[in-house]
Amino acid sequence: MSEATAVSSEAPAKAKRKRKRYQSPLLVALLPQVILFVCAVVLFWLSQEDTAGTIKYWEYFVPVIAVISLISGWSQSYLSNEIRAWYLIKQVVHWSALFALLFVMNNEGLRGAIDAQLYTIIVIYLIAFATLLAAIHMDFKLFFFSLFLVFSAYLLGAPADNVMLAYIGDTFGIDGAQSKTLSISVGVAVVGFIASTFVLLSMRGALLTKKIGAKRKED
C-alpha cells in the first residue's frame, strides 16, 4: 500500500474520531426523544381506559419533561451564544411556574370543583403548552412533542365523533378511524418523532461546525 493510499484511508477514520470527540453518539442523543414519546403514548393509552385515574402519572411526567428539556436545550443555548447562567435561570423559572400552577390547582379547591376527567385533560393541555413555550424559547426539539401532547389532550376531550380523527381517516383512507384512536395516536407520535429527529440532526450539524471552528481558532 502506497503512502498516499494510507493517508487517504486514515482521513475518514480521523474525521470520525473528531466527530466522536465533539458529539455524543446519535443513539444517545435520540434517547430523550424516545423516552418522551414512548411515555406520552403509554400515558395516552392508560388515559383512554381511565382518564381521571391517570392524573398522578401525568403530574409525575412533568419533572421528566423538565429535566430532559434542561439537558436537551443545552446545545441550542450554545449555538445561540446564550449565557449559560441565564439559560439555567430561564429553565428553572419556566418549569417552576408550571409546578406552582399545578400545586395551586391541587390545593386551592380547583381540583375538587370540576370533574376529575376534565381536570386531567386540563392538566395535559397545561403540560402541552408549557412544553410548547419551552420549545420556542429554549429547545426547538420539543416542538413536535408538544404538538403531540395537544393532539392527545384533544382526543381525550372528544372521544366520540372526533373531528380530527375523521379528517385523518378521510385524508389517509383509514376505515373506522373513530375506533382506531390508539393506532392513529401511535402513528402521529412516530411522525412527530421523525420530525424531531430531523431537527436534532440539523442542530448536531450546526453544533459540530461551530465546535470545530472554535477549535481551529484556538489552534
Whole-number Å distance between alpha carbons of 99 and 122: 14
37 pLDDT above the threshold of 90: yes
Task: Read off the pTM.
Answer: 0.85
Contacts of residue 186, Cβ cutoff 8 Å, sequence gap at least 6 = 41
Indicate if the pLDDT at residue 3 is higher than 60.
no
With cut-offs at 50, 70 and 90, classify the pLDDT of residue 203: confident
64 Cβ contact partners less than 8 Å away, ≥ 6 residues apart: 35, 36, 39
Confidence of residue 15 (pLDDT cuts 50, 70, 90): very low
- Quote the percentage of the chain above a pLDDT of 70: 86
Q: Of residues 192 and 83, which shows the higher confidence score? A: 192
The confidence score (pLDDT) of residue 142 equals 95
What is the chain's mean pLDDT, rounded?
86
Is the pLDDT at 94 greater than 90, yes or no? yes
Residue 24 φ/ψ region, left for φ over 0, alpha for ψ in the -120 to 50 degree band, beta for the rest: beta
Please give the distance of CA 54 from its chain centroid, rounded to a whole number: 20
Where are the domains positioned within the chain? 30-212
Alpha-carbon distance 101 to 96, whole Å?
8
Residue 101 has pLDDT above 70, yes or no: yes
Residue 20 has pLDDT above 60, yes or no: no
Distances (CA, A) of 77 to 91, 126, 130, 203: 11, 24, 18, 11
**Across residues 4-14, what is the average pLDDT?**
47
What is the pLDDT at residue 96?
Answer: 96
Distance CA 62, CA 110 (A): 19
Q: Reply yes or no on whether the pLDDT at 76 is more than 90.
A: no
Higher pLDDT pick, 3 / 103 = 103
Query: Average of pLDDT values for 167-189?
Result: 92
DSSP characters for the chain?
--HHHHHHHHHHHHHHHHHHHHS--HHHHHHHHHHHHHHHHHHHHHHHH-TGGGHHHHHHHHHHHHHHHHHHTHHHHHHTT--HHHHHHHHHHHHHHHHHHHHHHHHSSHHHHS-HHHHHHHHHHHHHHHHHHHHHHT-GGGHHHHHHHHHHHHHHH--SS-HHHHHHHHHHT-TTGGG-HHHHHHHHHHHHHHHHHHHHHHHHHHHHHHHHHHHHHH-
Distance (Å, rounded) from C-alpha 165 to C-alpha 184?
Answer: 8
The average pLDDT across 137-156 equals 94
Per-residue pLDDT, 21:
55
Question: Which band of pLDDT confidence, cut at 50, 70 and 90, is reported for residue 18?
Answer: very low
Average pLDDT over residues 56-66: 96
